[in-house]
């Protein structure tokens, strides 16, 4: 079973983010794999292992031929990657990105299952999984907190407001996995060394058969009209616990009449 995983390479989320003059994200820092995508990579490796074979293929769209984040996923054990990198993609919205990733799935070859996170940590639009599925004409099983594949079918536990639903579809299909669904492995030294020689198929928009006018700024059809600082919240009282700080908390709750 061949499993593709969407992997976003993002600026370090612990460094405060900045926008460029054209309102795109400042990507000058060293990109890394989005933590949210580590779960998809790990899940893919486990499912491929269980199925007794097949490849795990990473799919990514990033400027400047960026592979730093892909190398992490390759070091974990993925076989290869497809990287779409093209100046024409600057300014792409979620729908354009989904069009690119859907083409990347086709480029990757015989894919039975596509795994994604539920949303990225930086842009967090959160629509890519079902958009890619719709573009491919595949079922989408979203917000999975448990995934099993057997007999050409994928079955998940889908997070709901009330609990979870057991949802099933036949392959090929798209599954978006929630954080914590599995515990991502740390790449071994051997894995890190091997990753350096694993193939990354770097392609352009034209290679995928897409029109540059349908992606990037040209395809976005939305315009940022203002950017401003959110109102700051002020810090209030701060106390050191001397053993009795709880009494101040009780008082605070009393004043608010919640107790």
Partner 1 sequence: MAVSKTWVFAEADGDKPTGTTLELLTKARELSGTLEAVYVGANADTLAGVLGEHGATTVYAVDPGDALPGVVGAAALASLIGEHAPDLVLFAQSYDGRDAISRLSVKLDRPVLTNGTSLRADGDQVVVGAAIFGGNTLVDTEFEGEAPFLAAIRPKSFAAEPGGGAPAQVVTVPAPDAGRAGETRVLERHVEEREGPKLEEAQVVVSGGRGLGSAEAYDPLVEQLAKLLGGASGASRAIVDAGWVPYAKQVGQTGKVVKPKVYIALGISGATQHMVGMKGSENIIAVNKDAEAPIFGIADLGVVGDVHKVVPKLIEALQARS
Restricting to residues 56-95, which ones interact with partner 1 according to CB under 8 A? 93-95
Q: Site for partner 1 (CB under 8 A): which residue of 20, 30, 50, 125?
A: 125
Nearer to partner 1, 21 or 225 (CB): 225
CA distance 67 to 9: 8
Burial of 205 (0-12, 13-18, 19+ CB in 10 A): buried
Nearest alpha carbon to residue 57 among 135, 129, 115, 144: 115
Q: Site for partner 1 (CB under 8 A): which residue of 24, 46, 159, 204?
A: 159
Residue 105 sits in the site that holds partner 1 (CB under 8 A): no
Residue 148 sits in the site that holds partner 1 (CB under 8 A): no
Contact 109, 56 (CB under 8 A): no
Residue 166 sits in the site that holds partner 1 (CB under 8 A): yes
Residue 28 sits in the site that holds partner 1 (CB under 8 A): no
Residue 21 sits in the site that holds partner 1 (CB under 8 A): no
Q: Site for partner 1 (CB under 8 A): which residue of 111, 128, 200, 208?
A: 128
Q: How many CB atoms lie within 10 A of CB 13?
A: 14
- Binding to partner 1 in span 197-226, by CB under 8 A: 220-226
Looking only at the bridges linking them, the beta strands covering 56-61 and 200-203 are: unpaired
């Amino acid at each position: 079973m061949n499993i593709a995983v969407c992997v976003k390479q993002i600026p370090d989320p612990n460094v405060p983010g900045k926008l460029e003059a054209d309102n795109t994200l400042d990507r000058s820092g060293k990109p890394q794999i989005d933590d949210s995508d580590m779960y998809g990579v790990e899940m893919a490796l486990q499912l491929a292992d269980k199925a007794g074979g097949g490849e795990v293929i990473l799919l990514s769209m990033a400027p400047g031929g960026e592979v730093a984040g892909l190398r992490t996923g390759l070091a974990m054990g993925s076989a290869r990657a497809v990287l779409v990198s093209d100046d024409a993609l600057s300014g792409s919205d979620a729908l354009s990105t989904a069009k690119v990733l859907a083409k990347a799935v086709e480029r990757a070859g015989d894919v039975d299952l596509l795994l994604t996170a539920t949303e990225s940590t930086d842009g967090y639009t959160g629509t890519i999984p079902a958009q890619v599925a719709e573009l491919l004409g595949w079922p989408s099983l979203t917000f999975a907190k448990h995934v099993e594949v057997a007999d050409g079918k994928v079955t998940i536990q889908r997070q709901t407001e009330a609990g979870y639903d057991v949802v099933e579809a036949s392959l090929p299909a798209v599954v978006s996995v929630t954080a914590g669904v599995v515990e991502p492995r740390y790449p071994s030294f051997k894995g890190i060394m091997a990753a350096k020689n694993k193939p990354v198929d770097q392609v352009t928009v034209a290679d995928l058969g897409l029109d540059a006018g349908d992606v990037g700024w040209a395809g976005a059809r939305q315009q940022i009209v203002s950017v401003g600082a959110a109102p700051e919240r002020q810090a209030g009282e701060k106390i050191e616990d001397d053993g009795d700080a709880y009494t101040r908390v009780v008082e605070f709750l009393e004043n608010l009449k919640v107790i």
